[in-house]
Amino acid sequence: MKRILVTGGCGYIGSHTCVELIKSGYEVIVIDNLINSYEFSLDLIKKITGVKPSFYHIDLSDKNQTTDFFNQIENIEGVIHFAALKAVGESVEKPLLYYRNNLDSLINLLDGMLLKRIKNIIFSSSCTVYGEPEQVPITENAPIVRAESPYGNTKQISEEILMDLCKTADINVVSLRYFNPAGAHESGLLGEMPRQAPKSLFPAITQSASGSLEKMYVHGSNYPTPDGTAIRDYFHVNDLAIAHIYAFEYLENYKDNNKFHVFNLGSERGYSVMEIINTFEKVNQVKVNYEIGPRRAGDVTEIYADSTKAKKQLGWQCSRSLEDMVKTAWLWEKNRQSIMNNYEENSGY
């Protein structure tokens, strides 16, 4: 059984990826600092898979904690690195927080990998590396222009760090440039549960529909798009989770001198904010309490993926629809508060 280290494994994408790894026969070790996630995510993973991952409460941006971890751990076959702050708007307001957290944690992690001679890493990158694109859909050959936010810039810099390291060290990298993962596990037992007020579209929609959030804001209605709202490429989080297994297998089997690989992951079509809201209301027969607000700093007008390379080289593509995304997101929201209350009352989280 191969051991995979998943950083940020208690978070939204990380927890869903842990489920898919366990289902595929991997042993999972999770690192998380829990600043925007909950340890009881591991219990939810166990409810779905029957297996609870090993857990280390560590802040990877702390060099000593990270070194101590790697000094005590053995036989890790690869790393999937999710651990990072990820809110575009917040990064504009708190740039130093994002640079310090996202870059220091990567550097410390890579030092640990070199210490233990761990060769393979899947890096959680982002479509924000493309900035405001000149044309869509975007391929991996699109120019990397100046990022629109400090968050996007941390992903650009992180990729540069990884590319430079590949030139001198025995490290193989797949950088997965996600577009916008959404939805939740079809069991209704696992989904997005940020500690702070939701900064992503789907939890803002579901929480405003359930009443746990008074209202959500649509950030801008004067974009040059058909309905005036920004357009993004949304795809199901379970599809994204599975892509990490394909990427790890790709690194194990790849035979070439190239050690740094980039793949776009998305549905290959754009959905506007209002299209998402309208679809959510129609599928789930529930109203969303929203208000139109000003544009948000750091947001681009329109971006969606060309995932042809991932289809051809990884054998991956999306299998779930927008309707699946909004349906599973609402199922999770209806369970979320009772699940959180249960664990907070009984486990002291």
The Cα–Cα gap between 26 and 12 comes to 19
Q: Judge if the upstream peptide bond of residue 137 is cis by omega within 30 degrees of 0.
A: yes
The Cα–Cα gap between 195 and 36 comes to 5
The Cα–Cα gap between 141 and 121 comes to 22
The Cα–Cα gap between 276 and 278 comes to 6
**Catalytic, out of 12, 98, 130, 151:** 151
Give the chain as a 3 state SS string: CCEEEEECCCCHHHHHHHHHHHHCCCEEEEEECCCCCCCCHHHHHHHHHCCCCEEEECCCCCHHHHHHHHHHCCCCCEEEECCCCCCHHHHHHCHHHHHHHHHHHHHHHHHHHHHHCCCEEEEEEEHHHHCCCCCCCECCCCCCCCCCCHHHHHHHHHHHHHHHHHHHCCCEEEEEEECEEECCCCCCCCCCCCCCCCCCHHHHHHHHHHCCCCCEEEECCCCCCCCCCCEECEEEHHHHHHHHHHHHHHHHHCCCCCCEEEEEECCCCCEEHHHHHHHHHHHHCCCCCEEEECCCCCCCCECCECCHHHHHHHCCCCCCCHHHHHHHHHHHHHHHHHHHHHHHHHHCC
Q: Is 98 tagged catalytic?
A: no
The alpha carbon torsion through 328, 305, 37, 29 (nearest 10 deg) reads 100
- Find residue 29's DSSP bridge partners: 5, 54
Give catalytic residue positions: 151
